[in-house]
Amino acid sequence: MIPEFGHIALVIALCIAVLQSVLPLAGAQQGNVAWIATTRPLAHAQFFFLVISFGCLIVAFLQNDFSVKYVAMNSNTALPTMFKVAAVWGAHEGSLLLWSVTLGLWTSAVAAFSKTLPNAVVARVLAVMGMIAVGFMLFILLTSNPFDRLFPAPLNGGDLNPLLQDPALIIHPPMLYMGYVGFSVAFGFAIAAMLAGNLDQQWARWTRPWTTTAWLFLTMGIALGSWWAYYELGWGGWWFWDPVENAAFMPWLVGTGLMHSLAVTEKRGLFKSWTLLMAIAAFSLSLLGTFIVRSGVLVSVHAFASDPARGLFILIFLGIVIGASLTLYAYRASSLETRVGFAPFSRETFILLNSILLVIAAGVVLLGTLGPLVFGAFDLGSVSVGPQYFELVFLFPMLPLVLAVGVGMHTAWRSANPRELFRRLKWPALGALVAGVLIPWLVFGSVSLLTAVGVTIGLWTVIASLIDPAKKVVGKGPRITRGMVAMQLAHLGLGLTVLGITVTSAYTVVTDESMRPGDTREIGGYTFRFDETLPITGPNYEGIQGVFTVSRNDTELTQLKPEKRVYRVQTNPMTEAGIQGGLGRDLFIALGEQLGRGAWSVRIQYKPLIRFIWLGCIVMVIGGLVAISDPRYRQRVTAKAAADGATATA
C-alpha cells in the first residue's frame, strides 16, 4: 500500500503545482488579492505532498519492498541501511523525485522567508517555480515512475551500484540538486520581474541571498563530487571533464557570474538586462545538465539512464521553459536600459569583465561537451573531447579572470584611481610573483612557466584577499563590512583552490609498481613497505586488504590499507584507495591486480597540496554563508524602497 500512497501523493502534488502556477500569476497580473493569497498555502502544500511521496519511497527501500521495480533494481537485503536511503536517489527515477522534492523545498522556503516582499512579487515567483515543478512531476509520472510495481516480486534486489556505496554519495546528490535547483529561485525572480515589467535595485536585493544560497550548495556539491571521485574511482584523479561533471560546472560558472552581476545591479542599478540573462542562463544550464545526464545524448562515466522517450520529453520541456523565457527576455530587456555610467577603471568594469569571462568559460565547456554531439548529429564525423582539450582552452578565460580578481576587489565603485591602486598593490603583487617562481623552485626543484603563472596568480589572489583584513589587524585599515568579509573569504578560497590545482597538477608523483609483501619503495621522500594482504568481509562484499607501512627518515608515519572489493550481487571488482591526507600532501595507494607468485601491482602517489582544492571550496562556501547572513537582506521594505519599486518601471 505504501508505494501507492507515494504515487497518489505525487499526483496530488502535481495537481497543487498546476494550481500554484495558474492562480497566483493570474491574481498578480489582474490584481486579484484573493488569488494572490493562495500562493503561500499552495507552495507549502505542494512541498508537503512531495515529502510524503518521497518518504513512501524511502520506506519502500527500508522495508526491502522488491515488488517495487525501482527498489528491486537498486537495493538488496544485505545493503547497509544508510546506503538503502542513499539508493533512493541512486538511479534515474528516484533522483528525479529528489529533484522535485528539492524544488518543493526551495518553493516552500521562498514562501516562508519572503514575508518582507510584496505579495504580488512572491506570487509571480512561485507561479514560475510551480510551472517548473509541473514539468518535472509530469516527467516522473509519465516516463519514470519510481513506484511502478514488479510482478512477481523477486526474492532479493539487484543491489546499488557498488561505486555509489559510499558515504559521500549520500549527501553529494542532495547538495548538488540543492544547488542547481536553487537557481530556479533566481530564475523565478527574473521571469517575475519581466512579467511585471519592473526591475529595480530592490529586486536585486531580494534575489541575491537566494542566488548565493544556491551557489554555495552547488559549490559544496561539486567539491564533494570531486572528492568522491578522488578516493572512490581509484586512480587519484579529482576532475575528469566528464559530461556529467561539466553539467554541474556550467551552472556554477554562470551562477558565479550572476552573483557578481547582481551585486552591481543592487548597488548601482546597472547591468540589468545582463543580470536577467545570466539568471535565465544559470537555471537553463541546470536543466540542460539534467537533460545531458538523463537522456544519454552523451557518453559518460556516470550517466545512469538512456532513453530517447525521456530525452524527447525533457527537450520539449526545455524548449518551452527556456524558449519562452528567452523570448520574454527579447521582448522586455530593451526597456530596462538605465542611463547610469561608470569610469573605465572602476569596480563595475572589473565585475563586467568577470561575468563576461565566466560566461565564456561556461561557453567553452558547453562547446567541448556538446561539440561531439553536433558533429554526430550532422554526420560530420566522430570526435572525442577530453581533459587534454578542456585543460588547454579553459585557461584562456580563467587566467585573466583569476588575475583580475585581486585587482578588481581593491578597485573603487564608479571611478578608481589607477595610479593610487598601483601604489597600494605593487608590493603585494611583486611579492606574489617572486614567491610564485621561487617557492615551487625551492621546494620541488624545478618550475615550468605555467606552474609559475599558476602559483603566482593563486598566491596573488590569496594575498589580495588578505590585504584589508591584515591592515585591520594592524589597526590602520578601513572599516570592513560583512559583505566585504564574505567577498574576501570567497576570493581567498578561490586562491587556495588555484594553488592546489596548480601544485598538484605539476608535482604529483605517480608510479605503478609490482610489489611482494616485504618489498619497499621510495616515492616523494617517503618509504612505502608492503607488509601483507588480509582477506576482508564486508556486509555485502568480500575483498582483500593490502597493508602498507609508510615511513619517513626511518620514522613510521602511518599504515595505509587499500582494498580490492568484489560485491556479491554486482560482481565488479572495486578499488578502495588507501589515503593518508595532510594539508601539505596526500599519500595515496591503490591495489591493482594480483600478478602471481605473491606479487601485486600497486599504484603509489604523492600528491602535494591536493587538499587545497577542496579547502578552497570550503572557504568559498564560508564566504557565501557570511554573505547571506548579512542583516540587510532581512530588512523590511522601507517606504522609500517600496515607492521606488512602484515607480522605477523604465
Partner 1 sequence: MIRALTFSLLLWLSLPAHAIDPSDKLEDPVQDELYQRITEEVRCLVCQNQSIANSTAPLAADLRREIRRMIEEGSNETEIKDFLVERYGDFVLYRPRFRSWNLVLWLGPIVLLTVGFIALVVNVRRRKNLPVDEDAP
Partner 2 sequence: MAGKLKFLIPVAVFAGMVAIFYQGLYKDPTLVSSPFIDKAAPAFDLPTLYDDQRRMTEREFRGKISLFNVWASWCPGCAREHDMLLTIAHTTDVPIYGLNWKDERQAALKWLLERGNPYEVNAVDRDNITGIDWGVYGAPETFLIDADGIIRYKHIGPLTPEIWAAEFLPRITSARAMLAGAGS
Contact residues for partner 1 (CB under 8 A)? 162-163, 233-235, 240, 242-243, 269-270, 299-301, 338-344, 348-349, 352-353, 356-357, 359-360, 363-364, 367-368, 371, 374-375, 379-389, 392-393, 396-397, 414-415, 512-514, 572-575, 590-593, 595, 601-603
With CA atoms as reference, report the closest residue to 550 among 503, 602, 504.
602
Say whether residue 609 binds partner 2 (CB under 8 A).
Answer: no
Residue 425: its H or E element? helix 418-444
> How many residues lie near partner 2 (CB under 8 A)?
34
Q: Can residue 618 be called a binding residue for partner 2 (CB under 8 A)?
A: no
d(CA 86, CA 92): 13
Residue 319 binding: pick among partner 1, partner 2, none (C-beta 5-8 Å cut-off by kind): partner 2
Spatial neighbors of 519 by CB under 8 A, at least 6 apart, are: 529, 530
Q: What percentage of the chain's residues is helix, strand, coil (to nearest 5)?
A: 65, 10, 25
Q: Kindly report the CA angle at 110 between 105 and 112, in degrees rounded to 5?
A: 90
Contact 629, 532 (CB under 8 A): no
Binding flag, residue 322, partner 2 (CB under 8 A):
yes
Q: State the nearest-atom distance from the C-beta of 381 to partner 2, in Å.
A: 7
Q: 93 or 348, CB closer to partner 1?
A: 348
53 in Cβ contact with 10 (< 8 Å) = yes
- Residue in 31, 378, 475, 537 binding partner 2, rule: CB under 8 A: 378
Report the first-to-last Cα separation within the chain, whole angstroms: 56
79 binds, among partner 1, partner 2, none (CB under 5 to 8 A by kind): none
Q: Which stretch binds partner 2 (CB under 8 A): 9-17, 328-336, 577-585, 618-626?
A: 328-336
Counting contacts by CB under 8 A, is residue 339 touching partner 2?
A: no
Q: What is the Cα gyration radius of the chain?
A: 26
Which region among 311-319, 342-350, 470-478, 575-583 touches partner 2 (by CB under 8 A)? 311-319
Which residue reads 567577498 in cell numbers? Answer: 487
Q: Specify the residue, 9 or 303, whose C-beta has the smaller distance to partner 2.
A: 303
In whole angstroms, give the CA distance from residue 384 to residue 369.
Answer: 9
Q: Could you say which of 82, 312, 443, 642 contacts partner 2 (CB under 8 A)?
A: 312
Q: Which of 82, 377, 434, 438 binds partner 2 (CB under 8 A)?
A: 377
- Looking at the DSSP assignment, which residues form a beta bridge with residue 603? 512, 590
Q: Which does 445 bind (CB under 5 to 8 A by kind): partner 2, partner 1, none?
A: none
- The span from the CA of 21 to the CA of 136, in Å, is 13
By the rule CB under 8 A, 571 interacts with partner 2: no
DSSP letters for 37-77: TTHHHHHHHHHHHHHHHHHHHHHHHHTT-TTBHHHHHH--T
x/- contact string, 260-299, with partner 2 (CB under 8 A)? -------------x---x--xx--x------x---xxxxx
Task: Give contact residues for partner 2 (rule: CB under 8 A).
Answer: 273, 277, 280-281, 284, 291, 295-299, 308, 311-312, 315, 318-319, 322-323, 326-327, 329-330, 333-334, 370, 372-374, 376-378, 381-382
